[in-house]
Amino acid sequence: MKIELLPFTHEMIPEAGRLLAQRHRCNRERLPWLPMRFEDARVAGKAVETLWQAKLKNGYAAFCDGNMAAYLIGQTSNESWGRSGYVYLPGYAVAEEQSPAILQDLYCLLGDDWVRKGCFNHYLYVSAADTRVMEAQFNIGFGKERVDALLDLKRMEIPTVEPPKGVAVQKAATGDNAQLGSLSNVIFRALEKPPYWHPTLPEDWDELYEGWSELADDKEWTVWLALASDTRSTPSVRAAADEALGMVGFRPEKEEDTQMLVPAHTVYLSVAATKVQARGRGISTALSWHGLEQACKEGFEICYTNWISPNLLAARFWPRFGFKDVAYRMSKKVNPMIAWAKDE
């Protein structure tokens, strides 16, 4: 049975959509929290089409007896850590009767395009239900880097958790900008430590501070702050940035063409941080349960979040709340010396 590998074209989108819808139906058998809408080949086809509209995209498809057996679509971008190639969640599918090894062959073509462009950081998002696909990618050098997870708020039992002694939890508002900004370095400082060693360039620090500070004024966000208890007052009274001990931030998650993880009525737990000197007191736990309880009261049914799996603090913290893995970002670093050492 001969497999033919071809460059992906716009005309292949409908067939790729059917393959993706088939994959999603299988994924939902193991992960029923996933949105049902992508089981529709038209919706799945729209996701593929959206990916194919990107400017810096490339892709390949495998055919067997004239029928599409698999496809892989990626795109490239310039990041602060280097030129990178990404395959997003709608960017792959393999027919049920086919071996996931076909995706290895497609990656050889896709990845070689990236390397020729100087993209040495390769990322592939895979459904947590696709264990055979993950195994196939492990075998060609990929490793797990990020976890995407969902929490079913409808079935969750929320314990009564009081803030630790000396800590007050309250909703952030305009005037809390400095308090939120003071927490902007917590996550990137954690990521630069072992075993991840991921740098955030100093020239980006001010922009991060500004972004976190602006959350206090953003009406789309609900941010809960942990403050020293003697600072329970109006924002105008809180002046010192070091009064903030921790925070957790939520925003509604939109149903988008390529967002295959998010059903209706989903809230995104986007950021959470507790200062190093305040850890071990239960502050993050109190903030998180408080935020999840409020999300339930506001009618949200699912909470979506993600974390870097080598960030051991996060990787060991969030599953305790009942979050279930639904997708992974797998990564592979190509030695850049291949740019000049390769024998053409």
Characterize the bridge pairing of strands 67-79 and 92-94: antiparallel
Distance CA 78, CA 266 (A): 30
- Answer whether 82's CB lies under 8 Å from 100's CB: no
What string of H, E and C letters represents the secondary structure of the chain? Answer: CCEEEEECCHHHHHHHHHHHHHHHHHHHHHCCCCCHHHHCHHHHHHHHHHHHCCCCEEEEEEEECCEEEEEEEEEEEEECCEEEEEECHHHEEECCCCCCHHHHHHHHHHHHHHHHCCCCEEEEEEECCCHHHHHHHHCCCCEEEEEEEEEEHHHCCCCCCCCCCCEEEEECCCCCHHHHHCCCCHHHHHHCCCCCCCCCCHHHHHHHHHHHHHHHHCCCCEEEEEEEHHHCCCHHHCCCHHHEEEEEEEEECCCCCCCCCCCCCEEEEEEEEECHHHCCCCHHHHHHHHHHHHHHHCCCCEEEEEEECCCHHHHHHHHHHCCEEEEEEEEEECCCCHHHHCCC
Residue 2: what pLDDT? 87
3-146+330-341 and 157-321 share one CATH topology? Answer: yes
Residue 272: what pLDDT? 97
Phi, psi of 103 (to 5 degrees): -65, -30
Grade residue 191 by pLDDT with cuts at 50, 70 and 90: very high
The yes-or-no verdict on residue 342 having pLDDT over 50 is: yes
Residue 239: what pLDDT? 45
Grade residue 160 by pLDDT with cuts at 50, 70 and 90: confident
Distance CA 195, CA 272 (A): 20
- Answer whether 221's CB lies under 8 Å from 250's CB: yes
Residue 233: what pLDDT? 53
Mean pLDDT taken over the chain? 94
Domain range summary for the chain, segments of one domain joined by +: 3-146+330-341, 157-321
The yes-or-no verdict on residue 162 having pLDDT over 50 is: yes
Grade residue 344 by pLDDT with cuts at 50, 70 and 90: low
Residue 340: what pLDDT? 86
Residue 89: what pLDDT? 98
Grade residue 234 by pLDDT with cuts at 50, 70 and 90: low
Using a 10 angstrom Cβ sphere, with 0-12 exposed, 13-18 middle and 19 or more buried, the burial of residue 136 is: buried
The yes-or-no verdict on residue 235 having pLDDT over 70 is: no
Q: What is the pLDDT of residues 80-134, one digit of tens each?
A: 888 999 999 999 999 999 999 999 999 999 999 999 999 999 999 999 999 999 9
Q: What would the two tokens of residue 224 be?
A: 């809960």
Q: pTM of the full predicted structure?
A: 0.93
Distance CA 190, CA 307 (A): 12
Characterize the bridge pairing of strands 143-152 and 302-308: antiparallel
Q: What is the pLDDT of residues 239-292, one digit of tens each?
A: 444 489 999 999 999 999 999 999 999 999 999 999 999 999 999 999 999 999
Q: What is the pLDDT of residues 3-23, one digit of tens each?
A: 999 999 999 999 999 999 999
The yes-or-no verdict on residue 237 having pLDDT over 80 is: no
Of the candidates 275, 189, 191, the one whose C-alpha atom is nearest the C-alpha of residue 227 is 275
Give the architecture-level CATH label for domain 3-146+330-341.
Answer: 3-Layer(aba) Sandwich (3.40)
> Stretch 149-177: mean pLDDT, rounded?
92
Q: Write the single-letter amino acid at 322.
A: G
What is the CATH superfamily name and number for domain 157-321? Answer: Gcn5-related N-acetyltransferase (GNAT) (3.40.630.30)
Residue 125 neighbours by CB under 8 Å, 6+ apart: 86, 87, 88, 89, 91, 148, 327, 328, 329, 330
